[in-house]
Amino acid sequence: MSAKAQGPASRLDSDLRDVELATLAIRGGHTRTSEGEHSEPIFPTSSFVFNSAAQAAARFGGDEPGNIYSRFTNPTVRIFEQRIAAMEGGERAVATSSGMAAILSLGLGLLSQGDHIVCSYSVFGSTVSLFNKYFSKAGIRTSYVDPTDIDAWQRAVEPSTKLFFLETPSNPLAEIADIAAIAQVAHAAGAWLAVDNCFCTPALQLPLAMGADIVIHSATKFLDGQGRCIGGVVVGSDTLMEEVYGFVRTGGACLSPFNAWVFIKGLETLELRMLAQSERALQLANWLELQPQVERVYYSGLPCHPQHQLAARQQRAFGAVVAFEVKGGQAQAWALIDGTRMISITGNLGDVKTTITHPATTTHGRLSPEERQQAGIKDNLIRVSVGLEALADIQTDLQRGLSLL
Ligand SMILES: *Cc1c(COP(=O)(O)O)cnc(C)c1O
């Protein structure tokens, strides 16, 4: 990228072709308006005006590019889309009103009645509900497989399989799926691979470069990073995203300009945050392993993690989420959580504020005891999403809880 500004509105996207992620996160997608604003502008407008009836007709008819209505396009939303597309290495991104809206729009944009999905069994709970309760109504069936077992993905393929869907690392147990290997199986079956890249973000993992066709995000988590807004995004090729865009535009699952602006600002610090939070998480996981009240720690950065090598190869760092089991059951887990004073007790994650969750009674509380057992979510399991507070203070707070056990 040339270092010299050429005045307002003169910079083209092509200036940003050969720059690194950190630069894309800060400069990507922003073409200045004639006002010469330095920070990205928010366009809180529902519709756009035309110079004439003929121009309105040309815009609606698709003969002239440009904005019509913010359910279709909005300049602030477009900056977010172009920035995240550049960071993920995709041709195009489509922003959505939430992470779930991203998965909904992916499914209804690309799949038809009779199509089949092969999905990792350790994906976000609402993803499973969406597939089982609602996609099934549209005649789209889903089979679930162990994300770490390549043969299982292969065995689950049916003639109508169109989509593979996975999250890696999984939440909360940090199972790692081999994106490149699973992409090969998907492509041999004539299916697309979609990766929910929420836990790593493009700062730590680039699924498209490893062969995935589509990346989805809950922007609500690390992309925002400060717990302010709900939003999502789908990234992939122009051809695939045109279909997803068609659904968002028609179905109305669009992102608001204000939320898009918050995410734009979140992306600017994403890499720094992900690296710093991952570093704290690694140290915390090592420390937790030494605590006598802790039975087991789930974190792919630990050499004892069964897929540590794969995680080290596939990811730039190991992420901010650490899960662990305490000795005892739910009573001990709750006592630890209630013994903390600083860490936020909340179901959310991906924030600069450290959060603590008891999955069995919250995020995974809707599963039956058998389903929870199958998913490996025990009553003594605790999930911590490590933020940016000083590590010593996070440890001190957890120690308050641990000392009660
Ligand atoms: C939170 C989350 C979602 C859903 O995102 P929302 O923004 O809450 O709709 C999807 N996938 C993963 C991995 C998540 O953590």
Gap between the Cα atoms of 217 and 200, Å rounded = 10
pLDDT given for residue 9 in this prediction = 36
Q: pLDDT for 51-71, tens place per residue?
A: 999 999 999 999 999 999 999
pLDDT given for residue 145 in this prediction = 96
| pLDDT of residue 6 exceeding 50 | no
Minimal-distance CA residue to ligand 1 atom 12: 124
Gap between the Cα atoms of 364 and 323, Å rounded = 14
pLDDT given for residue 10 in this prediction = 38
pLDDT given for residue 367 in this prediction = 83
| pLDDT of residue 1 exceeding 60 | no
Give the mutation target among 220, 348, 355 for probing the ligand 1 site: most ligand atoms within 8 A of CB. Answer: 220
pLDDT given for residue 368 in this prediction = 86
pLDDT given for residue 15 in this prediction = 63
The contacts of residue 328 (CB under 8 Å, 6+ apart) are: 380, 405
Residue 232 corresponds to which tokens in the numbers above? 């999502």
- The mean of the pLDDT values for the chain is 94
pTM for the model stands at 0.95
Q: What is the CATH number of domain 21-268?
A: 3.40.640.10
Q: pLDDT for 227-253, tens place per residue?
A: 999 999 999 999 999 999 999 999 999
Lowest mean pLDDT among 4-18, 189-203, 260-274, 294-308: 4-18
Give the mutation target among 119, 198, 223, 233 for probing the ligand 1 site: most ligand atoms within 8 A of CB. Answer: 198
**Is residue 334 helix, strand or coil?**
helix
Distance 218 CA to ligand 1 centre (A): 5
Distance 167 CA to ligand 1 centre (A): 11
Whether 185 and 153 have beta carbons less than 8 Å apart is answered as yes
pLDDT given for residue 13 in this prediction = 52
Taken in order 216, 219, 220, 222, the sign of the CA dihedral is positive
For the chain, percent of residues with pLDDT exceeding 70: 96
What is the average pLDDT across 89-116? 98
pLDDT given for residue 240 in this prediction = 98
- CATH 3.90.1150.10 in the chain is located at 271-402
Is the CATH number 3.20.20.70 carried by domain 271-402? no
What is the average pLDDT across 286-307? 98
Minimal-distance CA residue to ligand 1 atom 11: 124
With cut-offs at 50, 70 and 90, classify the pLDDT of residue 155: very high
What is the average pLDDT across 100-109? 98
pLDDT given for residue 101 in this prediction = 98
With cut-offs at 50, 70 and 90, classify the pLDDT of residue 200: very high
- CATH 3.40.640.10 in the chain is located at 21-268
**Is residue 24 helix, strand or coil?**
helix
pLDDT given for residue 14 in this prediction = 52
pLDDT given for residue 5 in this prediction = 32
| Ligand 1 pocket by Cβ (under 6 Å) | 98-100, 124, 126, 167, 171, 196, 198, 218, 220-221, 230, 232
pLDDT given for residue 392 in this prediction = 98
CA distance readout (Å), 345 to 5, 353, 393: 46, 11, 16
